[in-house]
Structure 1
Amino acid sequence: MISKDTIIVAVDGPAGSGKSSVCRNAALDLGIQYIDSGAIYRAITWYFMGKYGDDLTVKDPVGELSSVKIEQIFESDGGVRTLLNGDDISSAIREERVAGNISIFSDNKDVRDYVSALLRKWAGENSIIMDGRDIGTVVFPDADLKIYLDASVDVRTYRRVKEYNDSGKNVDENSIRNQIIQRDLKDENREFGPLKKAEDSVYLDTSDMDFNDVIEKLKELIKSKK
């Protein structure tokens, strides 16, 4: 456990860098809240895909989201459930087709502002670890600790394929690799909230690090801020 009353830890990095799994485990060990910001963009994408199918040219996405309730639950076993209007869509939003369309909404300034406001509301007065692409630069620029997690494309591809396989989904490795490369380009060149390392963040390349070692390093950094 950490002794400071509240602490905000912002973890950014590219797709497949291990942010979510590492942050979940560190949060569980330290007894603080974990929030997966990427799941919110996935939930929004999944919602509009279900509503409009392949035509995702939504004129006023934030207006339409006013009647939608998105929730996230961090469970005692480290699991994270994402709910939309009370329905658990945690597995559905991890489908490859959702990942392929997510940039339509994550590139939208109004949607990003909507999600940022939602994330700040969720944080409230709690100690949190939150991961994403612009958490330390946009959502919580005054976070107590900012970390930029990175890894090579090869390593990130392997991790993402394993994630799909572990959930019972078979995917093409080359397709996932290309998807990650294209996602990097889109995230880094996005007009609003682009993926970039905050000047005051700690850079951590996890390519050659064991999963548990990354968790311990993250916990060590968090404890140093208590």
Structure 2
Amino acid sequence: MGKITIAIDGYSSTGKSTIAKQLAKLLGYVYVDTGAMYRAVTLYAMQKGYIGDEVEKVDELIADLSNINLQFEYNEDLGFSEMYLNGVNVEKEIRALPVSKLVSKVATLEEVRKKLVAMQQEMGKEKGLVMDGRDIGTVVFPDAEFKVFMTASPEKRAFRRYKELLDKGEKVSYDEVLKNVRYRDYIDSNRKFSPLKRAESAIEFDNSDMGLKEQLERIYNFALRKIEETKG
């Protein structure tokens, strides 16, 4: 069976990573979570004091980008790859709300996006890849054979994220999470460089009222059709 590149974009908390991860497993493809890459850079910036609720030392962060090493390492027990920042596993830290609050600010920086896009394109040279993020189908892999743009209402996405954080032991309120979801939507969609938008050839996939099983079945069948089309 021929291999293709699959780009999954969409708004925050639409379950892109979960679907992409499971789809890659079904197809025997490599999975890359680009959101984890931006979150790791954000965590680094926070640790160095370059960014915070009232701190934005953008020039210092940009000057320090060469010292940021990102690597995915597969965890056999978990069944997926975890993010390592300069040799340290930061998978838990990058998923916490403090990073979520600031990641969109870091992701607006052209220099950061250029660095990470170059890394992502290098990862996808051999195809057989499922990558999710905000600009995969428009910037990273504009020629991807299969593109999906995932969306859902802000309220549904906030509830999912709120429940996920509670399950991890985080102390958050639903209103706080909803505010963050709406803020990230605005920043992601209105940034000057590489804004979040649906690629013309992408399938718009609203999962507001869908369970995970139904989502995966539908997208998996779409993917199989695209793979068949490329063979012909």
Fold match by TM threshold 0.5: yes
Does the 8 Å CA contact 1:61/1:111 hold for their aligned counterparts? no
Q: Alignment partner for residue 40 of structure 2, among 39, 43, 46? A: 43
Separation in structure 1 between the aligned mates of residue 73 and residue 223 of structure 2, nearest angstrom: 22
Separation in structure 2 between the aligned mates of residue 119 and residue 175 of structure 1, nearest angstrom: 32
Gaps spanning 5+ residues in structure 2: where?
228-232
| Amino acid in structure 2 at the alignment position of 1:33 | V
Separation in structure 2 between the aligned mates of residue 211 and residue 205 of structure 1, nearest angstrom: 12
Listed as ranges, the matches of 1:130-209 within 5 Å are 130-209=131-210
Does the alignment pair 1:88 with 2:85?
no
C-alpha deviation, 1:74, in angstroms: 4.3
Q: Alignment partner for residue 24 of structure 1, among 21, 24, 31? A: 21
| Secondary structure, counterpart of 1:192 in structure 2 | coil
| Secondary structure, counterpart of 2:175 in structure 1 | helix
C-alpha deviation, 1:59, in angstroms: 0.6
Identity %: 35
Does the 8 Å CA contact 2:65/2:112 hold for their aligned counterparts? no
| Secondary structure, counterpart of 1:15 in structure 2 | coil
Aligned Cα RMSD in Å? Answer: 1.5
| Secondary structure, counterpart of 1:66 in structure 2 | helix
Q: Alignment partner for residue 5 of structure 2, among 5, 8, 11? A: 8
Separation in structure 2 between the aligned mates of residue 165 and residue 22 of structure 1, nearest angstrom: 21
| Amino acid in structure 1 at the alignment position of 2:145 | D
Q: Mean Cα displacement is larger for which, 169-178 or 74-83?
A: 74-83
Separation in structure 1 between the aligned mates of residue 11 and residue 86 of structure 2, nearest angstrom: 29
Does the 8 Å CA contact 2:105/2:187 hold for their aligned counterparts? no
1:125 aligned partner:
126
Q: How many residues align?
A: 223
Separation in structure 2 between the aligned mates of residue 184 and residue 132 of structure 1, nearest angstrom: 13
1:71 aligned partner:
71
C-alpha deviation, 1:167, in angstroms: 2.0
| Amino acid in structure 2 at the alignment position of 1:222 | A
TM (norm. structure 2) is 0.91
TM (norm. structure 1) is 0.93
